[in-house]
Amino acid sequence: MKTNDSLLGFALLGLLLEKPKSGYDLRKFFAATAMGSFSDSPGAIYPALDRLERQKLTRATVETSTGLRKRRVFKVTARGLAAFKAWLRRPLTRDDLIHRGDELMLRFAFMDQTLGADQATAFLREYARELEGYIPSLKAYLDATSVNMPMSARLAFEFGVQEHEAGLKWARTSIARYEQRKGNQE
């Protein structure tokens, strides 16, 4: 079921799940919100929409009613929803932590909407646990190798460590917020 390796495809699916949209709507959305780091260029979005449709993850219907030029409005199919959920549920690896932090955040952002709060909380716990293992090993590596680095190189490396530490802190307070909300609802 390996859809498409491009983050853009999943971002589009997630946005289309909320409500069917045209390519132009999506472009405007990306231009307005600077979400993730997706470009609003037609040369990226229209081909990506074509790919989704070829894989039958979306289906387009042409609107002429609106008076303006014809719009192609895309809806996510059942197959598309399944592929999207499979993406959200992928196991979290250390490699994701190191090389695909953006993708993890994108997945999490859509999780509440699509899988519910419990799954979102479980994801945060997994994320935190993985960081708890990774950060010490990264620090050990830094200590071992940074001795003869120029100062700015060492500081840049430390920045990387601190980013992960900020991520861990964020995950913990986020878990607490989910639990708090759950407590209030009962």
Partner DNA sequence: GTTGCCATGTAAACTGTTACATGATTTC
Partner DNA sequence: GAAATCATGTAACAGTTTACATGGCAAC
Q: Cα 24 to the chain's mean position, in Å?
A: 21
Residue 98 binding target from its own copies, DNA, none, CB below 5 to 8 Å by type: its own copies
Cα dihedral 147, 149, 152, 158 sign: negative
Residue of 64, 65, 148, 152 interacting with its own copies (CB under 8 A): 152
Please give the Cα distance from 108 to 106 (Å, whole number): 5
Stretch that binds DNA, among 49-57, 78-86, 111-119, 142-150 (CB under 7 A): 49-57
* Close Cβ partners of 180 (under 8 Å, ≥ 6 residues apart): none
Residue closer to its own copies (CB basis): 34 or 62: 34
Stretch that binds DNA, among 7-15, 82-90, 122-130, 144-152 (CB under 7 A): 7-15
Cα torsion through 12, 13, 14, 17, rounded to 10: 120
Residue closer to its own copies (CB basis): 1 or 144: 144
- Counting Cβ atoms within 10 Å, is residue 127 exposed (0-12), middle (13-18) or buried (19+)? buried
Stretch that binds its own copies, among 43-51, 55-63, 78-86, 164-172 (CB under 8 A): 164-172
Per DSSP, the three-state class of 71 is: strand
Residue type (1 letter), 114: T
95 binds DNA per the rule CB under 7 A: no
Stretch that binds its own copies, among 19-27, 65-73, 79-87, 175-183 (CB under 8 A): 175-183
Residue 44 binding target from its own copies, DNA, none, CB below 5 to 8 Å by type: DNA
Q: Which parts of this chain interact with DNA (CB under 7 A)? A: 4-9, 22-25, 27, 39, 41-44, 46-51, 66-73
